[in-house]
Amino acid sequence: MPDRALADLVVLDLGTDVTGPYCAKLLADYGAEVIKIEDPTTGGDPARRTGPFPGDIPHPEKSGLFLHLNTNKRSVTLNLKTASGRAILVDLVKRANVLIENGLPGAMDDAGLGWEDLAEVNPKLVMTSITPFGQDGPYKDYAAEEITVFAMSSRMYTHGQPDREPLRYAPDTAWFQVGATAALATMGGVFAQRRFGIGQQIDVSALEALVGNVDAGTVAYSMTGVKREGRVRQTVSSASGVVPCLDGFMLMIAGGERFFRRLLRAIGHPELAQDPRFATAAARAEHRDDFDVIFLPWCLERTRREIFEQLQSYSVMCAPVQTVDEVFTDPQEVARNFFVEIDHPAAGRLLYPGAPFIMEETPWSIRRAAPLLGEHNEEVLCGELGLSRQELMALAAQGVV
């Protein structure tokens, strides 16, 4: 049995920024051999210049975003605006199973590297094309950022304060979801490739990836015709919502009958279940302040950890509202060894998020840190495609690599 699930998969990653590179990263970290193609004339993937950077000092080899998205990949620089660069890419395509790109529709076709062109040299190729709106339709040529498709998906409409403008998720959250969807789609293409001996272009629309995975509001509207209004629903009791405590805030989910009774036992007031003010959800909504007088002092005398452990011992759903540094030291993630240290020649030794899921027999692993720009030109172009070092030097002098 192979020690890496995707060890026999060869992937060309032409993606930039987040969606394409994250799609390729998920394949690379489970064993695929991923060659990242970067444009030498622009300084490579724009993510190299995005950051964050150690010490807040910009450096193209130290971007935290790039380092995270490109583990286990090799970097080859190719100027696809040149005939020689395109010819080398075609040679790589002949040896590949998958090509991932996230340019606008038609960009690859304009370079003579569209699906029909590449299928002629590798009929079994799986080409995953990620775009904001898909390969066709009236919006296909529209420019978009992550926040654009987030707004159009309907998610933004329900986020934020009721009396203020809608808000977004944290930057790139939606792009990571699109990348994960693209990775799943790519593997579907690989299964078809191996079962039926066929290749295909996979059309991933970021907008449709978000709408198709959107919260229950989408399904509710399709079933009932009722549109979710407003943004933040006000909780009817501090038993459901964010409450202050001794060292921060706790998220409580104990408004339903079963969990509310457990909560009362956990805080030492089981008799309140018989109190008419708290006997039903409607009564608790009417007498929220009365319950807060009892519950909030109990919270304010205790830390998040104390409250979490006490309430969870009664199977009450709750969670501490954690800062990002606390996530790194959370006992659950420490016990599962989620964060891993990776040593990078430019950025040094840093902690990274680890396996998104665990496969015991064919595990996730870090075989190499994110590549330096063009780090593997000689290894791939000479060692695997057969170019001589003199030919490589000539290509470099011509601005091809």
The token duo for 145 is 């950022």
Report the pLDDT value the prediction gives residue 235, as an integer from 0 to 100: 52
Report the pLDDT value the prediction gives residue 226, as an integer from 0 to 100: 74
Identify the domain boundary among 270, 291, 326: 326
Residue 232 included in any domain: no
Low-confidence ranges of the chain (pLDDT < 70): 1-2, 214-217, 219-220, 222-223, 228-237
Instruction: Check whether residue 61 and residue 161 sit in a common domain.
Output: yes
In tens, the pLDDT along 117-155 reads: 999 999 999 999 999 999 999 999 998 999 999 999 888
List alpha helices for 77-215, DSSP H.
Answer: 83-94, 107-110, 115-121, 146-152, 173-196, 206-212
Instruction: Check whether residue 211 and residue 347 sit in a common domain.
Output: yes
DSSP classification of residue 237: B
Residue 163 maps to which CATH number? 3.40.50.10540
Residue 285 included in any domain: yes
In angstroms, the CA 27 to CA 67 distance is 16
Residue 304 maps to which CATH number? 3.30.1540.10
Report the pLDDT value the prediction gives residue 170, as an integer from 0 to 100: 80
Report the pLDDT value the prediction gives residue 16, as an integer from 0 to 100: 97
CB 348 within 8 A of CB 304: no
Q: Which domain holds residue 305?
A: 240-326
Report the pLDDT value the prediction gives residue 216, as an integer from 0 to 100: 53
Instruction: Check whether residue 66 and residue 118 sit in a common domain.
Output: yes
Residue 225 included in any domain: no
Instruction: Check whether residue 249 and residue 371 sit in a common domain.
Output: no
Report the pLDDT value the prediction gives residue 168, as an integer from 0 to 100: 80
Report the pLDDT value the prediction gives residue 394, as an integer from 0 to 100: 97
Identify the domain boundary among 307, 326, 345: 326
Cis preceding-peptide flag for 345 (omega within 30 of 0): no
Report the pLDDT value the prediction gives residue 229, as an integer from 0 to 100: 63
Q: What is the pTM of this model?
A: 0.92
| φ, ψ for residue 75, nearest 5 deg | -105, 125
Instruction: Check whether residue 22 and residue 47 sit in a common domain.
Output: yes
| φ, ψ for residue 254, nearest 5 deg | -140, 35
The token duo for 348 is 């040094």
CB 4 within 8 A of CB 31: yes
Report the pLDDT value the prediction gives residue 161, as an integer from 0 to 100: 77
Number of domains in the chain: 2
Identify the domain boundary among 326, 343, 368: 326
